[in-house]
Structure 1
Amino acid sequence: MQFVAMNRFEIREGHEEGFERMWAERESHLKETPGFREFRLLKGPQGDGVTLYISHAVWESRADFEAWTKSAQFRAAHKDAGASKTQDAMLGPPQFEGFETVLHEA
């Protein structure tokens, strides 16, 4: 049963390009992690000075995702997560949501 891990980010208007560049240039270490299937950064609606983004990662199982969060690869991928440039762009910390797949069509 696949697991989808998502983080919701509210980004201040005018910081979108830098936020997207940070994700594009980061070393995610995901491809070398057992159970990882795919990642997407999704840009959503804009309004009231905020742009919504969602990081969306698909894992083979919740156990694979949880192992990733405890790994050296996770620590390496998130070592600059608290950098002031990133914090200036975000309106608060990301909001995590995790989901078990119950139906999938491709």
Structure 2
Amino acid sequence: MIQFFNCFEVPAGQEDEFFRLWTEVNHYMVTKPGYVSHQLHRSVDADARYRFLNHGVWRSAEHWRAAHDQGFRALVSRPEWAAFTSTPGLYDVVHEGSVDPVPALG
């Protein structure tokens, strides 16, 4: 599995437009071979440089690359995306940890 992270700069007041555009691209990407899952995170800090972080999991870097085809490029090259810059990258997991679930208070 390969981890994909994409940090988005979203100007204040344009969150809804960003989410609408991101949703269109996401609907396209989830149909691609090798797609596993995704999460879109929003910063709790309104002043954060990167207001949104997309985390996707793909079966391989090759699947991820193949998914970024002509259809993808047509979606993200639309003028509406100009306001939203991003910093994407592929990553391998090098360490993972977790804790036991917290027991319910009775």
Task: Give TM-score scaled by structure 2 length.
Answer: 0.71
Residue 31 of structure 1 is matched in structure 2 by 30
Once superposed, what is the RMSD of the aligned Cα atoms?
A: 2.5
Q: Percent identity?
A: 19
1:101 matched to 2:93? The reply is yes
- Code of the residue aligned with 2:16 in structure 1: it is E
Q: Distance in 1 between matches of 2:22 and 2:62?
A: 24
Q: 1:103, CA displacement in angstroms? A: 4.5
Distance 2:66 2:97 in 1: 26
Q: Secondary structure at the match of 2:13?
A: coil
Give the counterpart letter for 2:27 in structure 1: S
| Partners of 1:13 and 1:51 within 8 A in 2 | no
The alignment covers a number of residue pairs equal to 97
Partner amino acid, structure 2, of 1:8 = C
Unaligned 5+ segments in structure 2 are: 99-106
Q: Which residue of 1 aligns with 2:47?
A: 47
Is the radius of gyration larger for structure 1 or structure 2?
2
CA separation of 1:98 and 1:13: change in aligned 2, threshold 3 A: same
Pick which of 23-32 and 38-47 moved more. 23-32
Q: Which deviations, in whole Å up to 9, do the C-alpha atoms of 1:52-106 show, x marking residues without a partner?
A: 111211011222222323xxxx321331323332213x2xx31112111245568
The TM-score, its normalising length taken from structure 1, stands at 0.71
Runs of 4+ in 1 over 6 A off after TM superposition: none
Q: Which residue of 1 aligns with 2:101?
A: none
Q: Does 1:68 align with 2:60?
A: no
* Helix, strand or coil at the partner of 2:66: helix
Change in CA separation of 1:83 and 1:68 when aligned onto 2, cut-off 3 Å? closer
Which amino acid in the other structure matches residue 47 of structure 2? G
**Change in 2 beyond 3 A, CA 1:13/1:51:** farther
Is there any run of 5+ residues in structure 1 with no aligned partner, and where? none
Work out the CA distance in 1 between the residues paired with 2:71 and 2:26: 8
